[in-house]
């Protein structure tokens, strides 16, 4: 959830990136957010030097810091350009206004001292580690992708995908994996070990990207082949084959 709009605000409206009290009012009264649950509070600093932002990040060890060398920006006329380096400082928790104001004041002080620009705070739904590695439906995967975008992942940027489909027998799923390879999904692998319900899976690893339309199109193609082989979608994840193996071994 992005509670702080990026578009220019009207002069008569509070700027939710800087007006913390108005931001909390918006969350509670307009969005009906339960603030007793942890959320990701993201404070943004922009500067001309990535090294300078890196040096600032090293002084903020108590926070999660994410550096981006450049960020694609779209102006009011739809023109795309590369923006300045960005440092996102994330504090996850069920924060109260005074806590958010304290961090915001610190970011503003850092900006004034170093000459970088403080662009305010945004707040997003926090994704727990257990949720991060659950298999997702297509709709949930699209929403997760939007969360990545809100967190700074550029449109079209590399984002690995893995699909898992299930069937009743190993020969069935081996045939299905072969059909997927013939259909253009070259890294499709049948798992020879059944799950706890005695079903067999096929993993499809893809060099994906942060592109909702492309993900939906891949899902459509895969399900068209799956229907012919009585395979059902278990879910989608955003992991490379290497990362998937590492997670599976943990």
* pLDDT the model gives residue 61: 83
Q: Same domain for 121 and 158?
A: no
Task: Tell me the pLDDT band of 128, cut-offs 50, 70 and 90.
Answer: low
Domain range for residue 121?
Answer: 20-126
Q: Same domain for 162 and 232?
A: yes
18 or 132, higher pLDDT: 18
pLDDT tens-place string over residues 9-60: 444 678 999 999 999 999 999 888 888 888 889 999 999 999 999 999 999 9
* pLDDT the model gives residue 42: 92
**Does a structural domain hold residue 228?**
yes
Number of compact structural domains in the chain: 2
Q: Same domain for 159 and 80?
A: no
**String of DSSP letters for 102-139:** HHHHHHHHHHHHHS-EEEEEEEEEPPPHHHHTS-B-HH
Return phi, psi of residue 31, to 5°.
-100, -10
Q: Same domain for 44 and 119?
A: yes
101 or 9, higher pLDDT: 101
CA dist 25 and 21 (Å) reads 6
Q: What CATH number did the domain enclosing 234 receive? A: 3.30.70.970
**Does a structural domain hold residue 226?**
yes
**Does a structural domain hold residue 4?**
no
Q: Same domain for 178 and 237?
A: yes
* pLDDT the model gives residue 124: 80
* pLDDT the model gives residue 246: 60
Q: Same domain for 119 and 197?
A: no
**Does a structural domain hold residue 69?**
yes
CA dist 166 and 201 (Å) reads 4
Rounded to the nearest integer, the mean pLDDT of the chain is 85
**Does a structural domain hold residue 115?**
yes
**String of DSSP letters for 139-160:** HHHHHHHHHHHHTTPPTT-B--
**What is the percentage of the chain residues whose pLDDT exceeds 90?**
56
**Does a structural domain hold residue 7?**
no
* pLDDT the model gives residue 7: 37
pLDDT at 192 over 80: yes
pLDDT tens-place string over residues 223-242: 999 999 999 999 999 988 88
Q: Same domain for 112 and 26?
A: yes
**Does a structural domain hold residue 132?**
no
84 three-class SS: coil
9 or 211, higher pLDDT: 211
Q: Same domain for 163 and 242?
A: yes
**Does a structural domain hold residue 112?**
yes
* pLDDT the model gives residue 80: 62
**Residue whose pair of structure tokens reads 């903020």 in the numeric block:** 60
């Amino acid at each position: 959830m992005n509670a702080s709009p990026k578009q220019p605000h009207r002069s008569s409206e509070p700027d939710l990136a800087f007006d913390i009290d108005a931001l909390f009012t918006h969350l509670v009264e307009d969005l009906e957010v339960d603030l007793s649950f942890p959320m990701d509070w993201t404070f943004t600093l922009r500067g001309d030097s990535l090294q300078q932002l890196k040096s600032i990040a090293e002084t903020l060890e108590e926070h999660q810091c994410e550096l981006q060398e450049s960020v694609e920006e779209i102006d009011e006329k739809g023109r795309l350009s590369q923006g300045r380096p960005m440092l996102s400082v994330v504090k996850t928790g069920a924060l109260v206004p005074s806590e958010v104001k304290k961090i915001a004041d610190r970011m503003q002080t850092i900006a004034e001292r170093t000459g970088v620009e403080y662009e305010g705070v945004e707040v997003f739904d926090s994704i727990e580690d257990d949720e991060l590695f659950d298999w997702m439906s297509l709709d949930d995967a699209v929403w997760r992708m939007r969360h990545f975008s809100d967190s700074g992942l550029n449109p079209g940027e590399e984002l690995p995908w893995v699909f898992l489909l299930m069937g009743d027998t190993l020969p069935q799923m081996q045939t299905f994996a072969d059909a997927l390879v013939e259909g253009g999904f070259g890294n499709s692998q049948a798992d020879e070990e059944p799950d706890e319900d005695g079903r067999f899976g096929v993993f499809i690893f893809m060099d994906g990207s942060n592109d909702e339309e492309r993900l939906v199109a891949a899902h459509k193609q895969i399900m068209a082949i799956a229907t012919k082989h009585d395979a059902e979608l278990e879910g989608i994840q955003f992991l490379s084959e290497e990362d998937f193996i590492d997670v599976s071994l943990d």
